[in-house]
Amino acid sequence: KTVEENLVSLIAKIGEKITIGKIKTINNLNSHNYSYQHSVIKDNLSKLGVVVSILSKESNDKILLFGKQLAMHIAASNPIALNSDDISKDIIEKETALIAEELKNLGKPKEIADKISLGKINKFKEENSLMTQDWVMDPKKKVQDIISELSVPNLKIVEFFRIKIGE
């Protein structure tokens, strides 16, 4: 059966309207997907789920553990993008406008406000880009540092997807 047929069948069975909010297919050649579910309600059903796709020629316990921990990290830290360059211009513009309004309300001179704004935007990018986020399991290190420490040649995070009920 298709997803639509299953949905219609389920709606008919329970008598409640059901809508599908977000979906994502992750299919990267030669990569492995690692997942994490938070607040599990029952098998394969949770309030928050993460899938992260990692490309590596190796497959060992070290990479398996890292994949699981990375998925947990993404669940906890909610990055917007893999790298700061991947954050959409719309999000950066909205954040810049919020910062400008905040600094305007503080009455800062334009020259100083511009410098503060630049610093705040750079901090926003760092905190919301997966590779530059503080690693949840060791906040003194960044995610990119943990990858370097693994010493696995050509290990690369291809993509990730985080979904939460209600978002």
> What is the C-alpha to C-alpha distance for residues 37 and 52, in angstroms, rounded to an integer?
12
> What confidence tens digit (pLDDT) does each residue in 86-101 have?
999 999 999 999 998 8
Is the pLDDT at 43 greater than 80? The verdict is no
- pLDDT at residue 58, rounded to an integer: 85
Structure tokens of 128?
A: 């919301």
159 pLDDT more than 90: yes
**pTM of the entire predicted model:** 0.83
Judge whether 23 and 51 are in contact, CB under 8 Å: no
Check residues 19 and 139 and name the one with the higher pLDDT: 139
- pLDDT tier, 59 (very low <50, low <70, confident <90, very high otherwise): confident
70 close to 45: Cβ distance less than 8 angstroms: no
14-27 average pLDDT score: 83
- Cβ atoms 145, 94 nearer than 8 A: no
Q: Which residues contact 164 (CB under 8 A, 6 or more apart)?
A: 47, 48, 49
The pLDDT score that the predictor gives to residue 127 is 96
String of DSSP letters for 7-45: HHHHHHHH--------------TTEEEEEEEEEEEETTE
**Residue 108 banded pLDDT, cuts 50, 70, 90:** confident
The confidence band for 62, taking pLDDT boundaries of 50, 70 and 90, is very high
pLDDT tens-place string over residues 70-88 = 999 999 999 999 999 999 9
| pLDDT at residue 40, rounded to an integer | 79
At residue 135, φ and ψ (nearest 5 deg) are -70, 125
Flag whether pLDDT at 42 surpasses 80.
no
